[in-house]
């Protein structure tokens, strides 16, 4: 059974990726990397990762979020985060990445922030 | 070691699946010992990061090398050893992932997380020739509130979620 599930949907010009499961070393990290890469290749550079159902993330997963953030930014786009669970929130806090990512608790507010 | 002390040791293949296996094994022991759900999460994450370190940096993902995981339970604490068969490293040489210039690094946060989540943490030269990570967590007294997940060095629990 895959560790990570993802579905993409469009809201205006923003691509929202709904994720559930684990972003960790192996399949989860690889799938996230491929999804972000594919979105960038198809010209989508306003990406919102909905992490509301992510119950686990390790250092490999954190690295993948940072990698995606940088890759999108290098294409003059923005990768933002929505709905952090407490565990993910705490990890981003102690790794100081909370100061790097734009993080939202409301989808509408997040989507409007790209305008 | 006290007469009540227990020792468990396994040798794992240098394979991604060993990361999950090691985490699961230590989680079961931590739960049986009486750690809270939060503390089990922190112990499991630390074991995971230790084995990832051995798998990726120590053994450089070479399948002919092994990862040695040992677990000691004393009356006071749970001690975890993760040994690889690489060249070893000095803790002082590990870059600080919180430094401004490293914030956007895509790797290098495993050691930091283990230090944050465990009570004691060190890296020494291992008997397997590579590095040996030694980390421990104080076992909560039966019936105490010490298993409430507030032992980690993170003070993030009190931080409100930021709205950009």
Spatial separation of the C-alpha atoms in residues B45 and B51, rounded to whole Å: 10
Q: How many residues does chain B have?
A: 164
Its domain, for residue A82, covers 4-112
A-contacting residues of B 11-50, CB under 8 Å? 16, 19, 41, 45, 48-49
Q: Which of A55, A68, A58 has the alpha carbon at shortest distance from A101?
A: A68
Show the tokens assigned to A21: 């499961």
Residues 6+ apart with CB under 8 A from A34: none
Q: What is the pLDDT of residues A54-65, one digit of tens each?
A: 999 999 999 999
Instruction: Compute the nearest-CA separation of B54 from chain A (Å).
Output: 13
Instruction: Count other C-beta atoms under 10 Å from residue A41's C-beta.
Output: 9
Task: Count Cα atoms within 13 angstroms, Cβ side, for B25.
Answer: 18
Mean pLDDT of B28-48: 96
Q: What is the pLDDT of residue B106?
A: 95
Q: What is the pLDDT of residue A27?
A: 87
ipTM higher than the 0.90 cut: yes
Is the pLDDT at B149 greater than 50? The verdict is no
Is the pLDDT at B67 greater than 60? The verdict is yes
How many domains does the structure of chain A reveal?
1
Q: What is the pLDDT of residues B1-24, one digit of tens each?
A: 555 789 999 999 999 999 999 999
- Indicate the domain borders of chain B: 11-143
Q: With contact defined as beta carbons under 8 Å apart, do B134 and B79 qualify? A: yes
Q: What is the CATH number of the domain that holds A30?
A: 3.30.750.24
> Taking all residues of chain B, what is their mean pLDDT, rounded to a whole number?
88
Q: With contact defined as beta carbons under 8 Å apart, do B35 and B146 qualify? A: no
Q: Which CATH architecture has domain B11-143?
A: 2-Layer Sandwich (3.30)
Q: What is the pLDDT of residue B159?
A: 34
Mean pLDDT of A21-45: 95
- Which among B12, B21, B38, B45 is the top mutation candidate for probing chain A, defined by the most A β-carbons within 10 Å of its own β-carbon? B45
Is the pLDDT at B148 greater than 50? The verdict is no
User: Model pTM?
Assistant: 0.89
- Which among A2, A22, A25 is the top mutation candidate for probing chain B, defined by the most B β-carbons within 10 Å of its own β-carbon? A25
């Amino acid at each position: 059974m895959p560790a990570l599930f993802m579905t993409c949907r469009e809201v205006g010009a923003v691509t929202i990726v709904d994720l559930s499961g684990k972003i960790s070393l192996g399949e989860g990290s690889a799938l996230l990397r491929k999804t972000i890469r594919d979105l960038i290749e198809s010209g989508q550079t306003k990406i919102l990762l909905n992490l509301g159902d992510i119950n686990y993330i390790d250092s490999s997963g954190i690295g993948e979020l940072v990698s995606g953030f940088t890759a999108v930014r290098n294409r003059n786009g923005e990768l933002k985060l929505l709905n952090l669970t407490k565990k993910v929130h705490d990890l981003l806090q102690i790794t100081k990445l909370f100061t790097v990512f734009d993080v939202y608790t409301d989808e509408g507010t997040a989507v409007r922030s790209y305008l | 070691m006290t007469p009540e002390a227990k020792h468990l040791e396994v040798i794992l293949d240098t394979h991604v699946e060993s990361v999950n296996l090691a985490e699961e094994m230590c989680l079961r022991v931590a739960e049986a010992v009486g750690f809270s759900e939060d503390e089990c999460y922190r112990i499991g994450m630390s074991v995971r990061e230790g084995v990832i370190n051995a798998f990726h940096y120590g053994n450089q993902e070479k399948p002919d090398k092994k990862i040695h995981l040992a677990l000691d339970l004393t009356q006071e604490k749970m001690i975890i050893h993760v040994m690889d068969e690489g060249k070893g490293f000095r803790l002082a040489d590990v870059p600080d992932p919180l430094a401004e210039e490293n914030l956007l690094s895509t790797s290098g946060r495993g050691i930091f997380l283990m230090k944050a989540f465990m009570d004691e943490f060190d890296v020494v030269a291992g008997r397997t020739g590579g590095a040996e990570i030694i980390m421990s967590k104080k076992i909560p007294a039966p019936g105490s509130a010490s298993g409430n997940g507030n032992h980690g060095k993170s003070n993030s629990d009190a931080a409100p979620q930021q709205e950009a």
